[in-house]
Amino acid sequence: MAQQVRGVVAPGKDEPVRVETIVVPDPGPGEAVVQIQACGVCHTDLHYKQGGISDEFPFLLGHEAAGVVESVGDGVTDVAPGDFVVLNWRAVCGRCRACLRGRPWYCFDTHNAEQRMTLTDGTELSPALGIGAFAEKTLVAAGQCTKVNPAVSAQVAGLLGCGVMAGIGAAINTGNVGRGDTVAVIGCGGVGDAAIAGANLAGAAKIIAVDIDDRKLDKARTMGATHTVNSREADPVETIRELTGGFGADVVIEAVGRPETYKQAFYARDLAGTVVLVGVPTPEMKLELPLLDVFGRGGALKSSWYGDCLPSRDFPMLIDLHLQGRLDLEAFVTETIELTDVEKAFERMHEGDVLRSVVVL
């Protein structure tokens, strides 16, 4: 039988979010209902509310979540009721050309639940990134649930569902950072700091953090940055070169998503180095670079989708490293809040001293 629970809904463009009663259907074939324990507040939720992602209002927000599987539909074998899971927004299909070539992290046909959650009047909800986890329970495709060690706290585990995984994966998966590498990270919000933590985990010898806000740079040091550059005060390209023997960094990770910071990343890397774009640009942005420099500097210019992660491979591994004390995920949780505080958390995002507000249920 369908259940009624509380959830945070964005009713229309730029309207404040509201806690509403939502109807969660029983899981159909291939689906699961998950009892949410914690869900981080991400910029993407704010973008949904602002109408920047699509106009399919009302949205059920929230997508960086962990919880316990309550029930599963027919044919679900990978997870069972009672499993502690982290939700992901790229459930790979196993059948598209990327999956068949053995590169499922590029899956071109990721899927979500087929049934829709609704308001009590029957209005269909669009769950943010196919998840909708600012809610006591949510309906997802079973492939969106990845079982992890239940010894971890839900507020920490849920972070891997989006921004923190994107950053760590930008370093370890897309950038292939290895022991002894020099790495620069431009933009030290939640994603950039996670890239710093990922580079640290991979054994980078030097990790140079670049931001325009000194508070972010202080935090970046605690995440593993060995050097910091305030790019309002010093030229970041010059400084990164000076710090790397005049060469530039082996891997530069752009975690802002703007043409000017991308250019800094492009010129701050060593010859044949790698640039990873994990910051998400907006549609009107354009990049202009001398094509000869693109050719002449060699190397790789990559973008990182969700940290090129494979949830089934990366979530349990990162949770285990965290539980062993080798990856500080708690450092990303600035505050824990209630379901009713999401609007306030959106306001706090602009203040610059929050990495993640996490709704705890």
Gyration radius (Cα) of the chain, Å:
20
First-last CA distance in the chain: 22
Residue closer to Zn ion by CB (options 10, 229) is: 10
Task: Return the one option of ligand APR, Zn ion, none that residue 165 interacts with (CB less than 5 to 8 A, by type).
Answer: none
Amino acid at 141: A
Angstrom distance (rounded) from CA 187 to CA 197:
14
CB of 295 to Zn ion, least distance (A): 33
Taking the CB of residue 223, how many other CB atoms lie within 10 A of it? Answer: 24
CB of 160 to ligand APR, least distance (A): 14
Scanning 28-36, 185-193, 244-252, 337-345 for contacts with ligand APR by CB under 6 A, the matching segment is: 185-193
Closest CA to 237 of 268, 273, 258, 207: 268
Q: Cα–Cα distances in Å, from 197 out to 103, 157, 203, 243, 324?
A: 25, 15, 10, 19, 15
**Cβ within 8 Å of residue 231, ≥6 positions away:** 186, 210, 211, 212, 264
Q: Which helix (H) or strand (E) holds 271?
A: strand 269-277
CB of 224 to Zn ion, least distance (A): 22
CB of 107 to Zn ion, least distance (A): 3
CB of 219 to ligand APR, least distance (A): 9
Closest CA to 211 of 203, 195, 271: 195
Residue 352 φ/ψ region, left for φ over 0, alpha for ψ in the -120 to 50 degree band, beta for the rest: left
| Residue 117 in contact with ligand APR, rule: CB under 6 A | no
Residue closer to ligand APR by CB (options 178, 259) is: 259
Residue closer to ligand APR by CB (options 43, 116) is: 43
Footprint of Zn ion (CB under 5 A): 42, 44, 92-93, 96, 99, 107, 109, 162
Residue closer to ligand APR by CB (options 55, 351) is: 351
Residue closer to ligand APR by CB (options 219, 322) is: 219
CB of 353 to Zn ion, least distance (A): 19
CB of 265 to Zn ion, least distance (A): 21
Among 161, 198, 248, 279, binds ligand APR (CB under 6 A): 279
Among 152, 160, 278, 309, binds ligand APR (CB under 6 A): 278
Q: Cα–Cα distances in Å, from 34 out to 67, 99, 126?
A: 6, 26, 17
Task: Return the one option of ligand APR, Zn ion, none that residue 51 interacts with (CB less than 5 to 8 A, by type).
Answer: none
Q: Tokens standing for 5?
A: 């629970």
Q: Which of residues 24-83 bind ligand APR (CB under 6 A)?
A: 43
Whether the Cβ atoms of residue 217 and residue 185 lie closer than 8 Å to each other: no
Task: Return the one option of ligand APR, Zn ion, none that residue 162 interacts with (CB less than 5 to 8 A, by type).
Answer: Zn ion
Task: Return the one option of Zn ion, ligand APR, none that residue 8 interacts with (CB less than 5 to 8 A, by type).
Answer: none
Alpha helices in 148-188, H assignment, sequence order: 154-157, 163-169
| Residue 158 in contact with ligand APR, rule: CB under 6 A | no
Amino acid at 6: R
Among 189, 224, 248, 307, binds ligand APR (CB under 6 A): 189
Task: Return the one option of Zn ion, ligand APR, none that residue 231 interacts with (CB less than 5 to 8 A, by type).
Answer: ligand APR
Q: Tokens standing for 75?
A: 């044919």
Q: Which of residues 193-252 bind ligand APR (CB under 6 A)?
A: 210-213, 216, 231
Whether the Cβ atoms of residue 162 and residue 42 lie closer than 8 Å to each other: yes
Among 226, 261, 304, 357, binds ligand APR (CB under 6 A): 261
Contacts with ligand APR by CB under 6 A lie at: 43, 163, 166, 186-192, 210-213, 216, 231, 255-257, 261, 278-280
